[in-house]
Amino acid sequence: MDATRRTVLAAGAAGAAALATGCTDGDGDGGGGTAEHPATPEPSTQADAASPGAPATGASPSASMGRELAKRSAVPVGGGTVFKPEKVVVVQPTAGQFKAYSAVCPHQGCLVDKVADGTIDCPCHDSRFRIADGSVAKGPATRPLPPAPITVTADAVLLP
């Protein structure tokens, strides 16, 4: 409630300022005039700094869709690339078709470490997962790699 109350009070102050600049509240309601004069809200100096709609300085045009993980060219056709810090593996089974999976092996939680011969491979117990759909090609894992959300632009792969 405090935040809302502060917002209301701030709006009331703006309304009062509007009143002071020429609006008259003739009905005598004494309510502060916020409803009758919904003045254009002042830009919030705190919120605007992080506003995703604001033109960002130094950011790429695709920044609003997510942050760039890699250029498309970093993901080989018929193979893929493991991004360990992000725990994501991005593959390109056929040219222009990108998919991403969690890089955390569903067997016991190691990070997969390479993509080779059409599979994503875990170094801990040698489970392998098909790049086409993340399904298990070789155990001991019994569950597939879960899909990971990505956005692919004309030249880059983005994370949300």
SS3 44: coil
Stretch that binds ligand FES, among 32-40, 41-49, 89-97, 123-131 (CB under 6 A): 123-131
CB burial readout 65-82, b (16+ within 10 A) else e:
ebebbbebeebeeebbbb
| CB 138, min distance to ligand FES, A | 9
| CB 148, min distance to ligand FES, A | 17
Is residue 135 at the binding interface for ligand FES, with CB under 6 A as the rule? no
Q: What backbone torsions phi and psi does residue 54 show, to the nearest 5 degrees? A: -75, 145
- Pull the structure tokens for residue 12: 């009331």
Stretch that binds ligand FES, among 74-82, 91-99, 118-126, 147-155 (CB under 6 A): 118-126
| Cis peptide, bond prior to residue 147, ω within 30 of zero | no
Name residue 71's amino acid.
Answer: K
Q: Do residues 75 and 98 touch, judged by C-beta distance below 8 A?
A: yes
For the chain, how big is the Rg over CA atoms in Å?
26
Is residue 124 at the binding interface for ligand FES, with CB under 6 A as the rule? yes
| CB 118, min distance to ligand FES, A | 17
Nearer to ligand FES among residue 31 and residue 140 (C-beta): 140
Q: Do residues 141 and 129 touch, judged by C-beta distance below 8 A?
A: yes
SS3 142: coil
| CB 71, min distance to ligand FES, A | 28
The interface with ligand FES within residues 87-116 (CB under 6 A) comprises 105, 107-110
Is residue 23 at the binding interface for ligand FES, with CB under 6 A as the rule? no
In the complex, the residues that contact ligand FES under the rule CB under 6 A are 105, 107-110, 122, 124-125, 127, 140-141
